[in-house]
Structure 1
Amino acid sequence: MMKNMFRAALAVALMLGFVSAAAADQVLASRLGAVLGQERQALSVVPDNRLSALTSLPPAPERGVSTRSGVRYDRTFLASQPKADGGAQWRCLSEALYFEARGETVRGMFAVGEVILNRVDSGLFPDSLCSVINQGTGRKYACQFTYTCDGLAETIAEPRAWDRVGKVARMLMDGAPRNLTSGATHYHTRAVNPSWARVYPRTTSIGSHHFYRKPTRTASN
């Protein structure tokens, strides 16, 4: 603020002819040098670690970025990704995300996708995406994902939503980190309360879903 006031006063003096342009430049340079010297002197007493903390970017997780792969859980980031495609497993995962989570935030879509991939890896469920997603389909109250047995036609009617979930599916299949749900293998919407939710430990809640991890049995159980 003081620098701005000094500049204004000098400009007025120059305009009124009290000083020459060359003299004004010399005075301005001298004054700015003195001010910058004072700022450097003030900064010299600030500890290096404090100065570094004040001038550094916050940690990646605080900026919504994965430290492992640069994934950012927002629609701007998702829109910047190339159009996704893939084979049967990619389509199964994309469909599950479309029918189960297309109305969620990007973070919510990734979280639902994590559950499906966690099941594939767990050893307690089938070992492929399509098998996990379609487990129990056709048996009343036995399907694992409601859209596969709700009797409704599975029609992709929202192209932009399909494009988004396809990208999420592609990134998860390509190794995006799964660090949102702490290894969850189950989820349900806030609108229901299944019996297993009373015994499975809840790992987190994201958007309209609660996430849970199925307890692992040990030899001592």
Structure 2
Amino acid sequence: MRLLYVWMRSAVALTLLSGAAFADVTVSQSNDPSASLSGQLSALLGSEKNALGTVPAHRLEQVAAAVVRREKRPASGEPVGAPPTLRYDESWLASQPVTSKGSDEWKCLATALYFEARGESIQGQFAVAEVIMNRVDRPGYPGSICGVVNQGGQFSYMFDGKPETIHEKAAFQRAGKIAALMLAGAPRQLTQGATHFHTRAVRPGWAHRFPRTAAIGAHLFYRQPGGS
């Protein structure tokens, strides 16, 4: 039924696109109570099928896909499954579901937040998560969260010589919630596309070359020039 529905919607759309393609299709206006509605519908669909047969297959696929995309968007215009509006406070984050076990990408992001920013505010941890996600999307960096986190020399906890042992369960749960929200498409609205950060206690050599985009808690954020 879904295929028939999309096909019929495509036929209507193509009526507008192809003009004369359906010029020979008519619907009976007979008042005869014995007229068969199913017969009229069959005739209509048969005529449309013949007309659609003259349209290239790829064009039908484009029109059908457009119909489906429009129907998947609610009246508000927001994509289906859009994450809730973020609130950077403890009470709101506490109301979010706990993720005890997720994908490898989730684990890599949650672990990075735990070791790099668990002492930061909720906003500060989201900001660090933005940096990791921004790197994934940027040319020149690995195309996965785990790849970015494990890239040599990028995150201090990866090369400090200490085992990555999680001792604070509550802090990791909080990092896990933030990771899950970011993976679900939470907006990145804190760091203006930052790709780097450092604590206020240090001054790495690249800091004077990269434009600073934000200062949140103990961290300063920067965006690497160039790229997209």
Helix, strand or coil at the partner of 2:167: coil
* Distance in 2, Cα, partners of 1:81 & 1:89: 19
| Alpha carbons 2:139, 2:227 under 8 Å: kept | no
Following TM superposition, by how much is the alpha carbon of 1:116 offset from its aligned partner in structure 2, in angstroms? 0.1
| Alpha carbons 2:138, 2:227 under 8 Å: kept | no
Q: Deviations over 1:90-139 (max 9, x none)?
A: 00000000000001000000000000000000112000000000001xxx
Following TM superposition, by how much is the alpha carbon of 1:69 offset from its aligned partner in structure 2, in angstroms? 3.1
- Of 101, 106, 129 in structure 1, the residue corresponding to residue 145 of structure 2 is 129
Paired amino acid for 2:156: T
Match in the other structure for 1:96: 112
* Distance in 1, Cα, partners of 2:98 & 2:199: 29
Instruction: Provide the TM-score with structure 2 as the length reference.
Output: 0.62
Match in the other structure for 1:195: 205
* Distance in 1, Cα, partners of 2:162 & 2:202: 20
| Alpha carbons 1:69, 1:177 under 8 Å: kept | no
Q: Deviations over 1:34-54 (max 9, x none)?
A: xxxxxxxxxxxxxxxxxxxxx
Q: How does 1:43-192 map to 2 (within 5 A)?
A: 69-84=84-99, 85-136=101-152, 143-192=153-202
Aligned residues between the structures: 146
Helix, strand or coil at the partner of 1:78: helix
Helix, strand or coil at the partner of 1:183: coil
Paired amino acid for 2:197: Y
Helix, strand or coil at the partner of 1:203: strand
Helix, strand or coil at the partner of 1:132: helix
Paired amino acid for 1:69: P
Higher Cα Rg, which structure = 1
Identity of aligned residues (%): 56
Helix, strand or coil at the partner of 2:170: helix
Aligned-CA RMSD value: 1.5
Structure 1 stretches of 5 or more lacking a match? 1-67, 137-142
* Distance in 2, Cα, partners of 1:82 & 1:115: 23
Helix, strand or coil at the partner of 2:220: strand
Runs (4+) off by over 2 Å: none
